[in-house]
Every structure is written in structure tokens, then in C-alpha cells.
Amino acid sequence: MTIITDNTTLMAYIPNVVTAVEGEQDLFTKLVPHLTVAEAWFFRNVASEDSVTTDTAMLFARSIVACEAFRNAVPSLNVILTQNGFGIVSNQTTAPASKERTESLVESLIEQRDNAIEQLVFLLNGQNTRFAGTVFCGYEAQRMQGITAHLFDKFTEQRAAVFRLLATLAEEALSEDVLQQMVAAAYTDEADRPAGLKYLYAYVPGIIVRQLKGEGCREDIRRVVDFLRTHPELFPHWLQSHAATHWQDYTYTNDKSKGGYWL
């Protein structure tokens, strides 16, 4: 493990933990298996090892790994195996938390983890993370759908669909060149984007979100094409692109096998 390597570091990210007494395992020792899995999960599903190269990035990475490890460990932390079977840890001064409080803790850990993931992604401008390569930054696509909880899980669930819809939109309307310009500007402040991209960003993210929800977006696609057609000074390669050939007579024949547009 490289992100959290000792109990002192772990305790900085897990509040309200009773200090272990002499002869008792500290929290780090108890969580080593979970921390190992959480770190591997982080590098596989959130960001690459190359992304954690600054102190600030490491702070976010530690928060993510600590929350994920503790979340997975919570169900078993107050359960012990005795000669007579499983029992619940308790003493004269503390009592096991209720099911509701335990569930609330788990939800809180998920929320903290998801927030830390997004802050890390913003810090890195999406680079070397699973959030790179689309027209959205962070959980923007999920929030546009009204999703407010379990954001990373929903992002992961929809990630492949977003890439598929963007690829189809590039092939049949935007062009790959224009799409890549938008992807490169995804983590750029709106005020700093070129005028042409500002217009496209007013429509393209919404098109993808509506397609994710199974809603029609034909008119907005037509507006995007109209803008690209009438502004060759901003997008000089679009008229020669494969996408433009779909609109030469300004009518588009839907292909249900492609998905997305014909709804």
C-alpha cells in the first residue's frame, strides 16, 4: 500500500474512533485487508498512480481510500466470533449502534468518498482519471439528471453509455474533430472557452443527458448542425467531415441501429 500506510494517517480521516488500549489491535491493523482492496479499487476505478503526485492530490486520495475501506469494514467491525458463535462488541460505557445509525454512517462515508473523488478530478482537470474523455466534468451529467446521491456509482453505471452516445453524435452530427475540441475544453472555465465551443456546450451536454433518459433531442441536434454549417470560420474542417455528409440535403435519415437520434 502507498496511500495510507500507518494508523496515524488513517486516524486523520476516520473521526470518533476510540484509541486502542495496550494489547489491542489499532484501527489500521484491523482495516489492512480493506485498505488494500480500497487502494486497488481507487487506482482501477478512479485515477491512475500517476495522478497522485502532489500533496493536495494525496490528501484527496487518502480521504477516498479511507472512506471506501471503512465503508466496507463497517458491517463487521462490531461483530466478533466466539467459541459459541458470533457476538456483538459491547461494554458498560458503550452499546452497539442501531441499524439506522450504522446505515447513516455508511451513507455518510459514501457521500464523503464521492465528494473527495470529484474534488480530486477537478484538481487534475480530469487527466489520468476515469472522468476524462467526455464533455462533462465531474458528476455534471448525473446532476443534470437530478441525481444527488451515490453519484460515483451512477457515474460508473452510465460511463459506457455516455461514451457510446458521444461517439454516435460525433459520427452523425458533430464530427470527431469538433468532439475532441469539446473534450479538451471540458474542464476549462466557461468564460475561457472559444465562442464556438460556448454555443456547442449550451446544447451538447443536454443532448447526451436527454438521450440517457430516453428523451428526444432532434431539434437541438439540428441547431448544433445548423451552427456548425453556418460558422465555417470557427470549425473549418466540419464541412469536409463524414458527419457533414449526413446533412447535405438538410434531412437526416434515422438509423435505429445506431440509437440516440431517432427517438
Cell output for 126: 480530469
Summarised one tens digit per residue, pLDDT across range 49-71 is 999 999 999 999 999 999 999 99
Within the chain, where are the H helices? 7-11, 27-45, 55-77, 99-123, 140-144, 151-169, 176-184, 195-201, 204-212, 218-230, 242-245
Cell output for 252: 437526416
Mean pLDDT of 96-121: 89
| pLDDT surpasses 90 at 162 | yes
* pLDDT value, residue 103: 84
> Which pLDDT band holds residue 140 (cuts at 50, 70, 90)?
very high
| pLDDT surpasses 80 at 137 | yes
* pLDDT value, residue 81: 46
Residue 81 dihedral angles phi and psi, to the nearest 5°: -100, 120
Summarised one tens digit per residue, pLDDT across range 73-102 is 987 776 554 455 445 566 655 556 677 877
* pLDDT value, residue 263: 44
* pLDDT value, residue 86: 47
